[in-house]
Amino acid sequence: MKKLVYLISPNKINQSFYTGLDRVLSFGNVAFFQLRLKNTQKRKILKIAKKISKITKKHKVKFIINDKLSLALETRSDGCHMGQSDGSIKHARIKLKKKILGVTCHNSKKLALSAIKYKANYIAFGSFYKSKLKPNAIKANLETLKWAKKTCNNKIVAIGGINKNNYKNIIKAGANYIAISSYIWKNSSKKPEIAIKDFNFH
């Protein structure tokens, strides 16, 4: 099975989360897992990251820390995802050495080219559809994905309201990975380990 899912954590992590994550990753379609915790103390994130890294290693999934470069360096993560207001991409590339660097580019070709200049491993575009995770996010369009596929050699991640009904359009337009969160963790009709099976790539 192709690993095309870039899975983002829920906003809050409780004790039962780790078992759920283990079950979700065991399906075999997740390439990356991003820990995205806003307003959480550093000490707590370090503890959570330690537990998660054991699970991601077990399933051969790359473990990415969102926003916080210092945490990405302190934990056993595989890299860091940087937003446009999270500090210098150039500095992050130097500090991360051979670790993965991903950069949010919204719907901007200019931001994408800048991220590539500083040797980002992947560039992320979105939001493509209405998203619970980021309801006020800048809208992105499929033309940007098509442009990136033609122009850039970097891996492309698409984010924002992606579900079982629209993900094929995103992959077709040029994304290498689809980032999903709410569909897995906040799905009112399916448990996470069932919801992940809706993204079945062969």
pLDDT at 109 exceeding the cut of 80: yes
Q: What per-residue confidence (pLDDT) applies to 137? A: 77
For residue 130, what are the contacts with CB-CB under 8 A and spacing of at least 6? 160, 161
CATH number for the domain spanning 162: value is 3.20.20.70
Using CA atoms of 10, 7, 180, 34 in order, give the dihedral in degrees to the nearest 10. 60
Size of the chain, expressed as the number of residues it contains: 202
Q: What per-residue confidence (pLDDT) applies to 61? A: 98
User: Which pLDDT band holds residue 5 (cuts at 50, 70, 90)?
Assistant: very high
pLDDT at 189 exceeding the cut of 90: yes
Dump pLDDT digits (tens) for 35-73: 999 889 999 999 999 999 999 999 999 999 999 999 999
Q: What per-residue confidence (pLDDT) applies to 93? A: 97
Q: What per-residue confidence (pLDDT) applies to 171? A: 97
Give percent above pLDDT 90 in the chain.
Answer: 91
Q: What per-residue confidence (pLDDT) applies to 180? A: 97
Q: What per-residue confidence (pLDDT) applies to 31? A: 98
Choice between 54 and 133, residue whose per-residue pLDDT is larger = 54
Domain containing residue 192? 5-198
* Measured distance CA(107)–CA(141) in Å, rounded: 7
Mean pLDDT of 10-15: 94
3-class SS of residue 7: strand
pLDDT at 13 exceeding the cut of 80: yes
For residue 74, what are the contacts with CB-CB under 8 A and spacing of at least 6? 46
* Measured distance CA(61)–CA(181) in Å, rounded: 16
Number of domains comprising the chain: 1
* Measured distance CA(53)–CA(63) in Å, rounded: 7
CA contacts within 13 A on the Cβ side of 114:
14
* Measured distance CA(118)–CA(109) in Å, rounded: 14
Q: What per-residue confidence (pLDDT) applies to 130? A: 83
* Measured distance CA(106)–CA(126) in Å, rounded: 5
Mean pLDDT of 173-197: 97
The C-alpha angle with vertex 101 and arms to 97 and 105, in degrees rounded to 5, equals 145
Q: What per-residue confidence (pLDDT) applies to 116? A: 97
pLDDT at 147 exceeding the cut of 80: yes
Mean pLDDT (the chain, rounded):
95
Burial of 172 (0-12, 13-18, 19+ CB in 10 A): exposed
Q: What per-residue confidence (pLDDT) applies to 131? A: 76
3-class SS of residue 21: helix
How does DSSP classify residue 46? H
Decide the pairing of beta strands 5-8 and 155-159: unpaired
* Measured distance CA(148)–CA(111) in Å, rounded: 11
